Structure 1
Amino acid sequence: MTARYGAPMPESIRHALRAKADPARGVPCPHCGAAAHRPCRLRSTGLLLAKPHPQRRSAWAQLSACCPECQVEPTVPCHDEGRARGTVHARRYQEAEETAA
């Protein structure tokens, strides 16, 4: 249990509250530096965003799913014929969504 503001909250309730959030929020954002389970923010103004940055979604997909297109395991970046990609393949996003559901 986590104590915050004097009242402990069981993990089962905390998990149910976070279930509505995008699963990509489970990893830190490499773009804005937002911690895991915290919303992304604009670096210039600090304004909180409703959806995570594309870089965060890419990092989440890379950490949570195998890529059916280039046949790499989780945590290994996608590649195109040996050349590293800046993002993951679209099929890896689909695989990650299915895994999260």
Structure 2
Amino acid sequence: MTIRPNAPMPAELRHFMRAGQHPSRSVACPHCGAGEHKPCRVRSTGRTLPDPHPARRTAWAEATACCPRCQVTPGFPCHTDGIPLRDQVHARRHLEAEETAA
């Protein structure tokens, strides 16, 4: 067996190595601009935050879970009576995303 020191880590192992992080870090933060798998930060000082911004959690829920309330698929915004919710998702969608990630 040949050992390659610079071989890329398989996605399955990378997931378990980041098990202590919130799963919403898998998407970029629309609030502070932090990239995927990077911690959120305060825009004015650059200090990193221990928890992701609520906007990042919302973007993650929208990208990964179906909404049981308005029946939209991942990637589409939640809506109320046909009017899209701007920068928001239903609470049930957050719960669905948390259950799926667990």
Q: The TM-score by the shorter chain falls in which range? A: 0.7 to 0.9
Letter in 1 for 2:37: H
Structure 2 length normalisation: TM-score?
0.86
Q: Which runs of 4+ in 1 moved over 6 A?
A: none
Unaligned runs of 5+ in 2: none
Offset of residue 82 of structure 1: 1.1
Letter in 2 for 1:84: P
Q: Describe the shift of the 1:2–1:21 C-alpha distance in structure 2 as closer, same or farther (beyond 3 A).
A: farther
Q: Give the aligned partner of residue 91 of structure 1.
A: 92
- Counterpart Cα distance in 2 of 1:14 and 1:53: 22
Q: RMSD of aligned C-alpha atoms? A: 1.9
SS of the residue corresponding to residue 21 of structure 2 reads coil
- Counterpart Cα distance in 1 of 2:15 and 2:63: 20
Q: How does 1:1-101 map to 2 (within 5 A)?
A: 3=6, 10-11=9-10, 13-86=13-86, 87-101=88-102
Structure 1 length normalisation: TM-score?
0.87
- Counterpart Cα distance in 2 of 1:16 and 1:59: 22
Same amino acid, percent of matched pairs: 56
SS of the residue corresponding to residue 93 of structure 2 reads helix
- Counterpart Cα distance in 2 of 1:43 and 1:59: 18
Unaligned runs of 5+ in 1: none
- Counterpart Cα distance in 2 of 1:15 and 1:67: 24
